[in-house]
């Protein structure tokens, strides 16, 4: 599905990613954890193609394609989805309008027929009911005035409608109440299939109680310094990051690299 090799990226001349190696197989769920400012969102944004970041070295293969060669919209059309840590407010454009435009752009790219207004509304209604999503928000300006949690839920609604092959959730669980957290976890579970993969960027074990990751990675200082199974998340929760830093400083090798 995704293979990242020695990825270096910088923004405004400052190097943030300093050699990321990560392989995500089909059907797998990976969790990426790490302290604030370690480069998790940078990794997510670089994968989605934010033009502000310069990739200075390394390569990324996604479903056999050179991901870094693709424009952001083409990555989306090829099934990559990023749930933003900070979804952007778009005044004057409703979530429904925007999502229909995005979905149809993707369908067109794949040679599928575009959905008309009725078909789209039907699809939207199904997903929205499934996620218990407030209908009035569909017609409001996208993310404008949405609460923190509402923004995250809106990202998940988009994911549910777009049905990506690779979903990257950047701290979608942060700021969610217990019920919303379960809804988000359910939405991820719904998508789980042998040919779909998920990367969950998170600070907390709690979402991983619902979605058991196949692998957990620790990102510190722009590098993945340690990888392990789901129990690594428990250890991090209990002990923080210092022990990982210490081990790395002492020359300890990452446990599992897959």
Partner 1 sequence: MQAPSSISGLNLSGLNLLALAHQSAAGAPTWVHDLKRDEAVRFQETGFPSLHDEDWKYTDVSPIRSVPIKPVLQDPPNAALQLVAARLQELGIAAPRVVFVNGRFVPTLSDTDGLPDRVRLSPFSEPSGQSWVFAERNFGRLSSGDPSPFAALNTGLFVDGAVLYFGNGAAVEEPIHVVFASIETPGPAAAYPRLLILMGHAAEGTVAETYLSLGRASTFANAVTEVHLQEGAILSHCRFVAAGEAGLHVGATEALLNADSSYRSLQLQNGGRLVRADLNVTFGGEAAECVLNGAYVGSGTQHLDNHTRIDHAVPHCTSRQLYKGMVADSATAVFNGKIVVRPGAQKTDAVQTNKNLLLSTRATVDAKPQLEILADDVRCTHGAASGPPNDDALFYLRSRGLDAEEAIGLLAYGFAADVVRAGATGSLRLLADTLLKDAVSAAVKSAIPV
Ligand X SMILES: Nc1ncnc2c1ncn2[C@@H]1O[C@H](COP(=O)(O)OP(=O)(O)OP(=O)(O)O)[C@@H](O)[C@H]1O
Among 72, 149, 175, 228, binds partner 1 (CB under 8 A): 72
Between CA 83 and CA 156 the distance in angstroms is 7
Interface residues with ligand X (CB under 6 A) are 11-12, 14, 16, 34, 36-42, 85
The footprint of Mg ion on residues 168-207 (CB under 5 A) is: none
CA 234 centroid distance within chain: 21
Site size with partner 1, rule: CB under 8 A = 36
Question: Using CB under 5 A as the criterion, what x/- string covers residues 5-44 for binding Mg ion?
Answer: -----------------------------------xx---
Question: Using CB under 8 A as the criterion, what x/- string covers residues 110-149 for binding partner 1?
Answer: -------x-----------------------x--------
Between CA 43 and CA 201 the distance in angstroms is 10
Between CA 41 and CA 5 the distance in angstroms is 18
CA 44 centroid distance within chain: 6
Q: Which residue is nearest to ligand X (CB)?
A: 41
Question: Using CB under 5 A as the criterion, what x/- string covers residues 84-123 for binding Mg ion?
Answer: -x--------------------------------------
DSSP reduced 3-state for 12: coil
DSSP reduced 3-state for 237: helix
In which residue are the tokens 């190696």 written? 21
Task: List the single partner that 39 binds among partner 1, ligand X, Mg ion, none, CB under 5 to 8 Å by kind.
Answer: ligand X
R_g of the chain, CA atoms, integer Å:
18
Let me know: does 7 contact 19? Beta carbons within 8 Å: yes
What are residue 32's DSSP bridge partners?
Answer: 201, 217
Stretch that binds partner 1, among 17-25, 49-57, 213-221, 245-253 (CB under 8 A): 49-57
190 near partner 1, rule: CB under 8 A: no
Which chain residues interact with Mg ion by CB under 5 A? Answer: 40-41, 85
């Amino acid at each position: 599905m995704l293979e990242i090799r020695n990825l270096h990226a910088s923004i405004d001349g400052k190097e943030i990613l300093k050699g990321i190696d990560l392989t995500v197989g089909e059907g797998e769920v990976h969790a990426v954890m790490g302290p604030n400012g370690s480069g998790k969102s940078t990794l997510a944004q670089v994968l989605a193609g934010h033009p502000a970041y310069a990739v200075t070295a390394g390569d990324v293969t996604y479903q056999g394609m050179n991901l870094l060669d693709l424009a952001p919209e083409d990555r989306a059309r090829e099934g990559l989805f990023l749930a933003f840590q900070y979804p952007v407010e778009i005044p004057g454009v409703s979530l429904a309008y925007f999502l229909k435009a995005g979905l149809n752009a993707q369908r067109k790219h794949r040679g599928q027929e575009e959905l008309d207004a009725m078909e789209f509304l039907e699809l939207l209604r199904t997903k929205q009911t499934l996620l218990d999503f407030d209908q009035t928000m569909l017609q409001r300006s996208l993310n404008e005035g949405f609460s923190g949690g509402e923004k995250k839920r809106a990202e998940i609604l988009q994911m549910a409608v777009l049905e990506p092959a690779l979903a990257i959730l950047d701290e979608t669980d942060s700021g969610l109440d217990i019920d919303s957290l379960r809804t988000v976890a359910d939405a991820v579970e719904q998508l789980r299939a042998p040919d779909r993969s998920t990367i969950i960027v998170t600070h907390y074990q709690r979402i991983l109680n619902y979605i058991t990751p196949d692998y957990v990675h620790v990102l510190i200082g722009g590098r993945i310094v340690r990888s392990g199974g789901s129990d690594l998340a428990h250890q991090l929760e209990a002990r923080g990051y210092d022990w990982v830093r210490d081990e790395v400083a002492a020359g300890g090798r990452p446990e599992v690299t897959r």
